[in-house]
Structure 1
Amino acid sequence: MIQITNLYKSFGKNVILNNIHLSFERGKIYGIVGENGAGKTTLFKCIAGIETYKGEITSIYGILKEKLGFLQTESFFFSKITGREYLQLLCVARKIQENDFDAKNIFDLPLDHYATTYSTGMKKKLALTAILLQKNEFYILDEPFNGVDIQSNMIITEILHELKRLNKTVLISSHIFSTLSDTCDEIIVLKNGEITKIITKENFSTLEKEMKEFSMIDKISKLKLC
């Protein structure tokens, strides 16, 4: 279990996250939704220990970052590292003995090419494969479906179901509501750095309707298209 208590983050006078209280249980998938700038990525970075913050984040895993796989929107790759070397590097970081990367290359990536030559979608699939090979207990996936082909999206969806079956904890953001609806147990709505509601699965359809009415009907009407 991961517990977040009174999390607060600001950059100067600009408050990004305010009074965040959340708990994440094992064997559950949690979705985070919110407009651009709502604070989703900053929240992820605070949990991952990349950003400093006020408040408290505790877990049953002790040092959380040692059991955490964080898929960022744009992962960093050294200029002269191949896909295979990247996988090996992240496995070594977790003291995982893995040599048969070809057998586990489920996205058919060109592992002997430099990772920086990969397309956006290929980079995302490489980074995802790497954190999965680390055998983490907690996963944060920031927009894992963006820039990825349809077949790979289907594979990622099934990976999420498998992680749930394996009793892992997953926190995921996506602008594609159907992917969250298909995989999540709860959806957390973040607005202006604060949690406005937490929706359970039986109420996902209501949330989707509310989001469509707000983001589509209201905003498009403002354009006054003729």
Structure 2
Amino acid sequence: MSLLKVTNLTKKFGKFTALDGVSFEVNKGEILGFIGPNGAGKSTTIRVLLGILKATSGDVQVFNKDAWKDAVDIHKRIAYVPGDVNLWPNLTGGEVIDLFLKLNGNVDKVKRDELIKRFDLDPSKKCRTYSKGNRQKVALVAAFATEADLFILDEPTSGLDPLMEKVFQECVLDVKKQGKSVLLSSHILSEVEKLCDRVTIIRQGKIIESGTLNELRHLTRTQMTVEATQPITGLGEVEGVHELEESKHSYRFQVDGDSMDAVIKHISQYGIIRLESTPPTLEDLFMRHYEGVVDKGVGGE
């Protein structure tokens, strides 16, 4: 069941097309990673989802309601954390959290206090004294303390230290266990890899790939190191082998996922002593997609 469905979303700023036919969906109980470099169109997409920007064309449905026309109703059931949080400087962190919770219509003090403790936040300090990381903590506590059905997180760990990133990841998995849905926009690929059920990659305002991590890994290359009792000949000619390096009877190379079987069959003839395989990461996938692509000048972030 789709909580969020984006179909052929296009957004133009004058003659410039920031989003060009973007389509994806987030299902109930799912964490979707929305990834791309700065300027790819991630934040523009999110602003349209939130009803802040009006789409030039296309259809954006959240809870089967129109993102632009029904924005007020939709906001009652979503929690949003931006990558750069601006807070009222003269209010304390605790006052801001309570204000957000009251606007949302529910104040669960036990949950709020537990999250403040988990994120190691001092709620008595004025917001003007907070570092960027502490401002993010205020927004994250306010978001996770609500009973939202959909969490829209746009670079939410910006400014957090690794310990707090771990707490954030635990909170995301907690809301998933409760059957909630999360749209996580990030360029921290390890974070996306740990948390997300599916990934959608955006580049220059267009969706270029969507699927589970396993489905997308056919696009990446596995790093292999092989030692054999005799020289391996013809390895560089096997389709799918890249960046081959030789040192005596040791060979390092990358292999495309769909060529693995042919490579294993070829090298097995030469008396393998050692075989190491490093599985592809989301970072590999990302770099393959953006290899040789210049994203300068692409706006909308």
Query: Could you say whether these structures have the same fold, taking a TM-score greater than 0.5 normalized by the shorter chain as the test?
Result: yes
Q: Distance in 2 between matches of 1:212 and 1:20?
A: 21
CA spacing shift, 1:97–1:159, aligned 2, 3 Å: closer
Q: Which has the higher contact order (CA 8 A, sep 6+)?
A: 1
2:59 pairs with one of 48, 56, 63: 56
CA spacing shift, 1:154–1:212, aligned 2, 3 Å: same
1:32-77 CA-to-partner distances (Å, cap 9, x unmatched) read: 1112111001111111111121322223365322211111011221
Output the TM-score relative to the length of structure 1.
Answer: 0.89
CA radius of gyration, larger in: 2
**Conserved in 1, the CA contact under 8 Å of 2:17 and 2:205?**
yes
**Conserved in 2, the CA contact under 8 Å of 1:2 and 1:60?**
yes
Partner of 1:222: none
Query: One-letter code of the match for 2:174?
Result: E
Identity of aligned residues (%): 28
Partner of 1:98: 108
1:120-170 CA-to-partner distances (Å, cap 9, x unmatched) read: 111111101101112111011111222111111111111111111111110
- RMSD of the alignment, in Å? 2.0
CA spacing shift, 1:49–1:110, aligned 2, 3 Å: same
Is 1:160 aligned to residue 172 of structure 2?
yes
Structural mapping, 1:12-161, within 5 Å: 12-54=14-56, 55-60=58-63, 62=65, 63-100=73-110, 101-105=112-116, 106-161=118-173
Structure 2 counterpart SS, 1:152: helix
Query: One-letter code of the match for 2:4?
Result: I
Partner of 2:197: 185
How far does residue 114 in structure 1 lie from its aligned partner after superposition? 1.0
Q: Distance in 2 between matches of 1:20 and 1:51?
A: 15
Moved more, 90-99 or 164-173: 90-99
Q: Distance in 2 between matches of 1:153 and 1:113?
A: 22
**Conserved in 2, the CA contact under 8 Å of 1:181 and 1:204?**
no
CA spacing shift, 1:28–1:103, aligned 2, 3 Å: closer
Q: Distance in 2 between matches of 1:47 and 1:32?
A: 13
Aligned length: 218
Q: Distance in 1 between matches of 2:114 and 2:79?
A: 21
Structure 2 counterpart SS, 1:21: strand
How far does residue 204 in structure 1 lie from its aligned partner after superposition? 5.0
Q: Distance in 1 between matches of 2:153 and 2:97?
A: 17
Partner of 1:212: 287
Query: One-letter code of the match for 2:135?
Result: K
1:167-189 CA-to-partner distances (Å, cap 9, x unmatched) read: 11101122221111111011111
Structure 2 residue runs without a partner (length 5+)? 66-72, 221-281, 294-301
Moved more, 184-193 or 200-209: 200-209
Output the TM-score relative to the length of structure 2.
Answer: 0.68
**Conserved in 2, the CA contact under 8 Å of 1:10 and 1:16?**
yes
**Conserved in 2, the CA contact under 8 Å of 1:61 and 1:67?**
no
Structure 1 counterpart SS, 2:115: coil
Q: Distance in 2 between matches of 1:201 and 1:51?
A: 30
Structure 1 residue runs without a partner (length 5+)? 220-226
